[in-house]
Amino acid sequence: MRKEKKYAAAWDWTALVSLINKRPNLQQLFWVMSLCLMVSVARAETYYVSPGGADSNPGTADAPFQTISRALAVIGTVPGAGAGQAVEVAGGTYNESLIFNLPSGTSWDQPFTLFARRGEVVTIRGDGETNVYIADGIDYYSVIDGFVFDAANTWHGQALISNCCDPQPGFIRLQNNEFINNRFGGFFIAGHHIEVVSNKLHGGFEEFFDCGQVHCFNYAFYVMGSNNLFSHNEIFDVASWVFHIYEGSQRNGGPSDNVVQNNSIHDFGYGDKRSDGILLSSGPRNHAYNNVVYNGYGSSGISVWFGCDDCTVLNNTISGMDLNCLQVADTRNTVIDNNTLSNCWGNYIKIYENTLDLTLSNTFCDRAADNCMLSTGREQTPEGSTSETESPGA
């Protein structure tokens, strides 16, 4: 939990102004001090970090801090403390994590920004639970931009954006980052209005034991929150699900209004034969637009599953699936439109019996029209499905 900073009582500005007016010789001193204060504030808008710096430095470009955590601590975690401020991190490897220490802005016009220096490789390699842990239930308006996150030494994936209970954290943007050595998965997101844009995530997934599931691989993105955006990312070399939008047996109370668009998703599912490139489930109005999904080993491309009512799969290209290109099960008012399917060794489109009010149009296959769609199968139910396709993971 955050600890609010305590400040001394405010000055009596009326008395101060009266004193200055009575003492003309103080007026010049007052304005000199005010000018110095304004210059100091202006210089404090960006703090600098470099491996060659020192945490005893003031964090200026000429005298940077040595650690990211020191720069973040100077700004603080009081809500809004980072509004309009930034931290620039110079090239190098930082053996530290961003855990419960991310400052927040006040709006997207006044965000806090943590960014890697342009043109330099800045690696964050934590050795604890995760590289990024954001848990306070506030609207952050914070940006994390341009880093390489290496999870080789963590034991809980790359990033956790979640609180134990409501409210959940919101309004966080991760952009232009690369996530490598994802031993125990990539992202777990229960927050809202999280934007993951123009990142690359790949490799390092390991099998582990005593997980209590059929499979023992974590996912690239496990999403239980709502109103999140995943756009223009490249995700590959993933042992299990890539986008797993799911929350138990929820229906209307599950994750909703998430958008997965313009992503390149490929070479996945080699360790978990129930996987999907994109799973939309458990809540309404989740959407997959303009994605390219290919090379799913023992996997399906896009699945619209239990409780994803009023969901849309539009303008996606899916190829090279060992199972199904598209599958729809136990949903209402799903729209499947203008998708291109090829080289799927199971069914190109598989629809289960209890799917209601499905709109299926303008879908192009490389098979003959009479073999493009298979609409059969037992009713798919959550957890312990008796259908031909197993239910999503927990």
The pLDDT tens digits of the residues spanning 47-95 come to 999 999 999 999 999 999 999 999 999 999 999 999 999 999 999 999 9
CB 249 within 8 A of CB 382: yes
| CA proximity to 50, closest of 38, 40, 62, 32 | 62
> Which positions ≥6 away from 337 have C-beta within 8 Å?
312, 313, 314, 315, 359, 360, 361, 362, 363
In a domain, 356, yes or no: yes
Token pair 């690239």 is at which residue?
220
Query: Could you report how far apart the first and last alpha carbons of the chain are, in Å?
Result: 28
pLDDT in tens, 352-365: 868 889 998 887 88
> How high does pLDDT run on average in the chain?
84
Please state, in angstroms and rounded to a whole number, the distance separating the CA atoms of residues 121 and 150.
12
Does 220 score more than 90 pLDDT? yes
In a domain, 294, yes or no: yes
Mean pLDDT value of segment 119-135: 96
Helices and strands of the chain, counted as H and E runs: 4, 33
For residue 317, the domain's CATH number is: 2.160.20
In a domain, 263, yes or no: yes
Confidence of residue 242 (pLDDT cuts 50, 70, 90): very high
**Least confident segment among 104-113, 321-330, 359-368:** 359-368
CB 283 within 8 A of CB 254: yes
Please state, in angstroms and rounded to a whole number, the distance separating the CA atoms of residues 93 and 124.
6
φ/ψ (deg, to 5) at 119: 85, 0
DSSP secondary structure, 192-232, as one string:
EEEEEES-EEE------S--SSS-----SEEE--SS-EEES
Does 281 score more than 50 pLDDT? yes
In a domain, 127, yes or no: no
> Which positions ≥6 away from 74 have C-beta within 8 Å?
47, 59, 65
pLDDT on residue 360 = 87
Does 1 score more than 50 pLDDT? no
Tokens of 60: 């200026």
pLDDT in tens, 148-160: 999 999 998 899 9
Of 43, 63, 81, the last residue of a domain is 43
Mean pLDDT value of segment 284-295: 97
| CA proximity to 141, closest of 189, 99, 109 | 109
Confidence of residue 32 (pLDDT cuts 50, 70, 90): very low
The proportion of the chain whose per-residue pLDDT surpasses 70, expressed as a percent, equals: 79
Does 6 score more than 50 pLDDT? no
Q: Which amino acid belongs to residue 109?
A: D
The H-assigned helical ranges of the chain are 13-22, 24-43, 68-75, 369-372
Domain span holding position 34: 13-43
Does 128 score more than 60 pLDDT? yes
Q: Which helix (H) or strand (E) holds 267?
A: strand 264-268
In a domain, 389, yes or no: yes
Token pair 């341009």 is at which residue?
146
In a domain, 82, yes or no: no
pLDDT on residue 87 = 98
Q: What total of structural domains would you count in the chain?
A: 2
Confidence of residue 201 (pLDDT cuts 50, 70, 90): very high
pLDDT on residue 43 = 39
Confidence of residue 216 (pLDDT cuts 50, 70, 90): confident
Does 9 score more than 50 pLDDT? no
Confidence of residue 34 (pLDDT cuts 50, 70, 90): very low
The proportion of the chain whose per-residue pLDDT surpasses 90, expressed as a percent, equals: 66
